[in-house]
Structure 1
Amino acid sequence: MSDPRDEARNDEHNQERIEERAELLPEEQAAGSDDPRAQAAAILEESDERTEEPARTRAESTQTPGTDD
């Protein structure tokens, strides 16, 4: 069973990451964003997924060349 305190710390950390990433980059500001927080959450979720499962996400990506061989 997971410790609720650990989950609360993780939630807090994720919220901090989202808030930090929601500060748009210059090119994102130029393009505009209807919801920077939602955009940040999606970007971070995809980034975490690539970090946690690099082989699977590499195979699915059109931007990442190469293989794990």
Structure 2
Amino acid sequence: MKKLLSSVLIATSVVLLSACSPDDNNKVKVAINTGPDEAIWKVVEQVAKDKYHLDVEVISSMITCCPMKR
């Protein structure tokens, strides 16, 4: 549930902060980790396009950064 809430907050931040841009570029790139959040970002893409006229490009990555254990 925390992951869902944080994803929604990040998506909202992206949409709102992109409105502060000085130019009229309506494209936003967002990098996410692959997993169950991908379905949420599909909805975010559609809502951003329909409601805010933004093109959200979601870049999925399986790379995670973890400290090495010794």
* TM-score bracket, shorter-length normalisation: 0.3 to 0.5
The two structures have a TM-score, normalised by structure 1, of 0.40
In terms of fraction of residues, the more strand-rich structure is 2
In terms of fraction of residues, the more helix-rich structure is 1
The two structures have a TM-score, normalised by structure 2, of 0.39
